[in-house]
Amino acid sequence: MFIVPVSRRAAVRARHFDRLFDTAVDQLFAQPVADTAPVRRPAIDVTESDRGYVVTLDVPGVTREDVKVSIDGRRVSIVAEARAAEAPAADATAAEATETPKPTDRVILRERAFASYARSFTLQSEIDQASSQAKLDNGVLTLTLVKRDPVATQISVN
């Protein structure tokens, strides 16, 4: 029989390491799997001219109906949702691939899932909502935002 001498300090370090490892493993596997994907914050490009701004951002998989753009003064908010496409049946022809899968088919792997996008930012000038436009083309959302003309007001002195 072979006996290895262990100092008290080494035993304490071993217990600390065991606790650290147990905590890390518990945190890794204790989190429930989320049903929905986290909200993505797409990168944006903003250019400015004398007349207004052009904002461009990528929102792949989103349809026009699933995009909401709101403007409140100088604040622009964009919310979009992309729904997961159904996988075609395994024995489907090219024409049938656009249809929904049969109830007897089972999904082996699904990586294309629901995606939610949200982005808000503040511009330097107020935006004229009536003159501004939004266009979605091949997953690229382009906002053409027209600057509101400054309105001078006079205040009467009492």
Q: What is the pLDDT of residues 53-83, one digit of tens each?
A: 999 999 988 999 999 999 999 999 999 988 7
CA distance linking residue 125 with residue 129, whole number of Å: 12
Q: How confident is the model at residue 40 (pLDDT cuts 50, 70, 90)?
A: confident
Count Cβ atoms within 10 A of the Cβ of residue 117 and give its class: 0-12 exposed, 13-18 middle, 19 or more buried: buried
Q: Where are the beta strands (DSSP E) in 39-126?
A: 39-40, 44-48, 52-58, 67-72, 75-82, 115-122
Could you tell me if 11 and 19 are in contact, meaning their C-beta atoms sit under 8 angstroms apart? no
**In the predicted structure, residue 114 carries a pLDDT above the cut 60:** yes
- Mean pLDDT for the stretch of residues 130-151: 93
pLDDT at 54: 98
Domains of the chain (ranges, CATH numbers): 39-83+115-147 (2.60.40.790)
Q: How confident is the model at residue 32 (pLDDT cuts 50, 70, 90)?
A: low
pLDDT at 15: 79
**In the predicted structure, residue 24 carries a pLDDT above the cut 80:** no
Radius of gyration of the chain (CA): 28
Residue 119's alpha-carbon distances to 3, 44, 57, 69, 140, in angstroms, are: 63, 9, 10, 10, 14
pTM of the model: 0.61
